[in-house]
Amino acid sequence: MQLGMYVHPWDIADEGARNVFQLLAKNGVQFINLAVSYHSGRFFLPHNPIKKVYYAEEGVVYFDPGQDCFRSSRLKPIRSSSYSGSDILKQSVEIANDYSMTVNAWTVCLHNGRFAADYPDLAVENMYGEKDMNFLCPVKSDSHKYLRSLMLSLATGYDIGEIELESAFFPPAFIHGVHHEVMGIRITPVMSYLLSTCFCQDCIADALSKGIDLNEARKHAINYIHDQILNMRNIGNPAEAENQDLKQALIREGFEDIIAFKTSVSRDLMYYYSETALEAGTNISIVGTGRGLAGSGVDLEFPSGTIKALDLIAYYQNISEISSDVALVRSKLPVNVSVRTGINLSYPYAYNPVRLRESVDSALSAGSNAIIFYNYGWATQNIIEEIQNLL
């Protein structure tokens, strides 16, 4: 059984790379996905020897990107001010070799509030013409040129196993947990999909080149949201709405054009990222939830040879949902794409030995090729040490 662990750079910096890899190797972990480009957040770190509460910076990188790969990129990577004095990725790769472990570059891509604020012309634009201050539009050439530069910088500068792309397409959902985010009405999956679709001029032009009138689709979306607000008390069973097939629900409401547009963009980007990885001599993987990938417009029937693995985020209190998600995704993916199921070691998920074992068994029974735990810094050391008992 192949086991991995998500690790944040401050875990490495504060605990020491050797201490982290020694603990993980002792407990059977064979690879890590190290965050090299990440968003902001407030995290409680139960076994961190330096701090217990950490406010991560928005939209920064935790390695030395250099400048050569970014000369033609309008967007330039911003190094973390908290850890600018050390190259955490370089340290990790060097120490990992001593334990026969692999380091993958976990890369948060278009979910970048710093860039969205500094370059509002690149931000996702909703149906009302309002900017999403957390996400860059994937159709904008400046957006994907930056990601290409980032991938080349990582692959040519470091001996990594692969580059894992997170948020590399359209936003996965409307609700994301922005600071003091409040919704006064229930946002259904269909509403979420529409509200996280970009209708900027570049998207409208791209859609038109594909024979899709995104302007008409935008008007339909505005009318649909308006009707949903007026009829919120008659919206039906919340659980039923959450569990329905999103694509079928969108088709029933007449949004085939938006599905076609987002799917086409995501497929174009898959080829673009894959070609970049091939040029750089590395592989790529994608991370996301089943619902989140659908919301982003990602078709799980990936073009052959484009990705190495899908890290399926399956954080469920109801453990049976893990196997359901894995089975569904496994049935759609090409056979040569590995499914690595993400199991959350934090409360209220796989936070004790019984739930850990049941969660892993649920994923493996449904066809998961590997398990990747989330994450080193948030989990207690006790539950990390329970991993060895799975072997």
Going residue by residue through the chain, which has 391 residues, state the pLDDT in tens, using 9 for 90 and above.
Answer: 899 999 999 999 999 999 999 999 999 999 999 999 999 999 999 999 999 999 999 999 999 999 899 999 999 999 999 998 889 999 999 999 999 999 999 999 999 999 999 999 999 999 999 999 999 999 999 999 999 999 999 999 999 999 999 999 999 999 877 778 888 888 999 999 999 999 999 999 999 999 999 999 999 999 999 999 988 765 555 555 555 689 999 999 999 999 999 999 999 999 999 999 999 999 999 999 998 999 999 988 887 789 999 999 999 999 999 999 999 999 999 999 999 999 999 999 999 999 999 999 999 999 999 999 999 999 999 999 999 999 8
In order of their start, the domains of the chain are: 2-180+261-390 (3.20.20.80)
Classify residue 285 by burial, with Cβ atoms within 10 Å: 0-12, 13-18, 19+: buried
Nearest CA to 262 out of 307, 195, 312, 308 is that of 195
Report the candidate in 261, 259, 270 with the shortest Cα–Cα distance to residue 209. Answer: 261
In this predicted model, what pLDDT tens digit does every residue of 158-208 receive, in sequence order?
A: 999 999 999 999 999 998 777 788 888 889 999 999 999 999 999 999 999
Residue with tokens 């709405």: 241
Helix (H, G, I), strand (E, B) or coil at 373: strand
In contact, 195 and 225? CB cutoff 8 Å: yes
Q: What distance lies between CA 264 and its chain's CA centroid?
A: 19
Please report the DSSP string for 48-67 in residue order: -SS-SEEEEPSSEESS---S
What's the CA gap between 320 and 67, in Å, rounded? Answer: 47
What letter would DSSP give residue 79?
B
CB 17 within 8 A of CB 91: yes
Model confidence, pTM: 0.95
Q: DSSP readout, 151-211?
A: HHHHHHHS--S-EEEES-SS-S-S----TT---SS---HHHHHHHTS---HHHHHHHHHTT
